[in-house]
């Protein structure tokens, strides 16, 4: 009988993944990963509540369950990168890096060291016959974007038991089995921040460097708390609404000048907020190589974005990507992820974008 380790978060998705594997006759062990050691704003350790759900579900299914602590690895490999990127004025995606460095590297290595043949997770993804990554059947829940940094070698030892299911089906299975977390709310946002105020969290680690907010003509509009707290396309939280000398439209962040510590904003969504191409210096191709030196496909520049048609030119370890249509607020630090139909080709962090109209402050 095949031995499978299931990464159980306490959520309904990984719980149903474990249940389905047990029903299929696998020898299943549930393992809860603790990646962050800190209480929330109310002094409650959320990991304790999640582990209680893992324990309850595992006992209902009838599988053994354990916990492992990767908090040090997470701080060293993910959180330090997260802070470094924000210091550079970029907007990183730590969830992608967590999958690359923790769940499917440190945790996968741990799972295999126990004698398991496979690692299973509750991701909404699928694998084709060649162990390449495919979108999940539930288009609204597909998580292939977050797994674009994985390699074919890693995916050969991974299974996604709920990849062919809709979220409604997953919850129904959990309810039918009497799981305590059947109706548990989905986790949102960055895992180590949870429901907390993002800016307040970041201020604990990166001291504020206040500076001027200016418009696209260089006029001072207000004061910012630190460039790392803002991202391209941001509208809320700028503190500059209600001015009498503007058009009455909302203000949006259209750029940052790190050298002069300026946050550049504009009223309305105009050409300065859009770009025509991007460069990514390091791209992971899941199959081991790009499909061609130059090719057309679709891409996402952030999670939940509809696919956008692009032309990709491979440049050494990276790519230059031309957009068929100008794209709004493509942000350095976020990942560009490439698709051919339902097949996820891979992706990498965005390093530079070419604006539709240059900003000259």
Give pLDDT tens digits for 196-214. Answer: 677 788 888 888 789 999 9
The token pair that represents 313 in the structure block: 């030119």
Q: Looking at residue 180, what is its pLDDT?
A: 92
Q: State which CATH number among 3.30.1330.60, 3.30.70.20, 2.30.30.280, 2.60.40.10 fits the domain covering 207-269.
A: 2.30.30.280
The pLDDT score that the predictor gives to residue 194 is 59
What is the CATH topology of the domain spanning 274-355? Elongation Factor Tu (Ef-tu); domain 3 (2.40.30)
The pLDDT of residue 235: 92
Given the residues 45, 98, 297, 344, select the one marked as catalytic: 98
Q: Which residues does the chain have with pLDDT short of 70?
A: 1, 37-46, 188-196, 242-246
Domain at 3-176, CATH class: alpha beta
98 is catalytic: yes
Asked about 191 being catalytic, the answer comes back as yes
Q: According to the model, what pLDDT value does residue 43 have?
A: 41
CA–CA distances in Å: residue 168 to residues 56, 137, 254:
21, 12, 39
The pLDDT value given to residue 361: 78
Q: Where are the domains of the chain?
A: 3-176, 207-269, 274-355
Full 3-state SS string of the chain = CCEEEEECCCCHHHHHHHHHHHHCCCEEEEEEEECCCCCCCCCCCHHHHHHHHHHHHHHHHCCCEEEEECHHHHHHHHHHHHHHHHHCCCCCCHHHHHHHHHHHHHHHHHHHHCCCCEEECCCCEEECCCCCEEECCCCCCCCHHHHCCCCHHHHCCEECCCCCCCHHHHHHHHHHCCCCCCCCCCCCCCCCCCCCCHHHHHHCCCCCCCEEEEECCCCEEEEECCHHHCCCCCCCCCCCCCCCCCCCCCEEEEEEECCCCEEEEEECCCHHHEEEEEEECCCEECCCCCCCCEEEEEEECCCCCCCEEEEEEEECCEEEEEEEEEEECCCECEEEEEEECCEEEEEEECCEEEECCCCCC
Q: Give me the catalytic one of 125, 191, 297, 344.
A: 191
Domains 3-176 and 274-355 share a fold: no
């Amino acid at each position: 009988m095949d031995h499978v380790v299931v990464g159980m978060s306490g959520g309904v998705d990984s719980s149903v993944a474990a249940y389905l594997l047990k029903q299929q006759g696998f020898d299943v062990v549930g393992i809860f990963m603790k990646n962050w050691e800190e209480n929330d704003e109310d002094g409650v350790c959320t990991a304790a509540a999640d582990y209680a759900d893992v324990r309850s579900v595992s006992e209902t299914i009838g599988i053994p369950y354990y916990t492992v602590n990767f908090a040090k690895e997470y701080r060293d490999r993910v959180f330090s990168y997260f802070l470094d990127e924000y210091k550079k004025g970029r907007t990183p995606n730590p969830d992608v890096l967590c999958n690359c460095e923790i769940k499917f590297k440190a945790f996968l290595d741990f799972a295999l060291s126990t004698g398991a043949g496979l690692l299973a997770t509750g991701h909404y993804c699928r694998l084709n016959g060649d162990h390449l990554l495919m979108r999940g059947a539930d288009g609204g829940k597909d998580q292939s974007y977050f797994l674009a940094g994985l390699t074919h070698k890693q995916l050969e030892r991974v299974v996604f038991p709920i990849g062919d299911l809709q979220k409604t089906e997953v919850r129904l299975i959990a309810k039918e089995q009497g799981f305590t977390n059947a109706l548990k709310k989905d986790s949102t946002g960055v895992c180590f921040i949870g429901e907390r105020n993002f800016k307040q969290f970041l201020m604990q680690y990166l001291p504020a460097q206040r500076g001027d907010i200016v418009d696209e003509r260089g006029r001072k509009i207000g004061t910012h708390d630190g460039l790392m707290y803002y991202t391209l396309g941001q509208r809320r939280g700028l503190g500059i609404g209600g001015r009498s000398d503007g058009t009455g439209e909302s203000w949006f962040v259209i750029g940052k000048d790190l050298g002069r510590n300026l946050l550049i904003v504009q009223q309305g969504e105009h050409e300065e907020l859009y770009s025509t191409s991007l460069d990514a210096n390091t791209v992971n191709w899941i199959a081991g190589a790009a499909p061609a030196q130059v090719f057309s496909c679709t891409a996402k520049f952030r999670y939940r974005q509809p696919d956008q048609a692009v032309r990709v030119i491979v440049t050494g370890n990276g790519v230059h990507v031309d957009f068929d249509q100008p794209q709004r607020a493509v942000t350095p630090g976020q990942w560009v992820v490439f698709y051919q139909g339902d097949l996820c080709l891979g992706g990498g962090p965005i390093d530079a974008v070419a604006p539709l109209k240059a900003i000259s402050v």
